[in-house]
Amino acid sequence: MLEKILDEVNEANRSRKTISKMELGEIDQFLVHSRVGRIGISLDDNPYVVPVGYCYEGGEIFFHSCFSGLKMRSMARNPKVCFLVDESLSDGSMYKSVIVRGSVEIIDDGERMLPYLQSLINKYRVPVGFDEYIGRPGRSREKEMAVVRVCVITPSEITSRKMVRALTRA
């Protein structure tokens, strides 16, 4: 009896769901405004996924990281990555996801990193110039620039999905 009721509920839910791809403008807006993405890398032939704060500008995804650690060593060995951004409502009535496959470049040149770091500051901090931000008390430009790296993903493939469950009236 319970199985039959569950089947009927599942069928009703399926008939009210609309799953589709996102349009290019929708993908761009979603990637620009979302705050957390998940980078998937190969860690000695095993998957490894890490959440990161990121920016999406000019068709590139970028984030910063410390120069060492599992993530950085793995990307240096194998630059092929997967990047996921998603969101959903807790009741399951809506979700969006974008998956980007591509290659990552690790930038360690301070001058090349500056525009990327400025974009990250603008998105996640109070938008002030890099020099003002790094010149705040307790910060050391020399020390921080020595350990930070910017990772830039150039997409080779982008896929998307969105699902919206139609509202029904009782």
Tokens (6 digits) for 78? 């194998």
Contact, 162 vs 19, CB < 8 A?
yes
pTM value is: 0.82
What pLDDT shows up at residue 164?
82
Residue for token pair 């990161």: 52
What pLDDT shows up at residue 74?
93
Contact, 118 vs 129, CB < 8 A?
yes
Over the chain (170 residues), the average pLDDT of each successive run of 10 is 56 65 95 97 90 96 93 94 94 90 96 94 84 78 84 97 73
Please name the residues in contact with 66: beta carbons below 8 A apart, sequence gap of 6 or more.
72, 147, 148, 149
What pLDDT shows up at residue 125?
83
Contact, 153 vs 60, CB < 8 A?
yes
Q: Measured between alpha carbons, how far is 122 from 46 in angstroms, rounded to an integer? A: 34
Please name the CATH architecture into which domain 22-163 falls.
Roll (2.30)
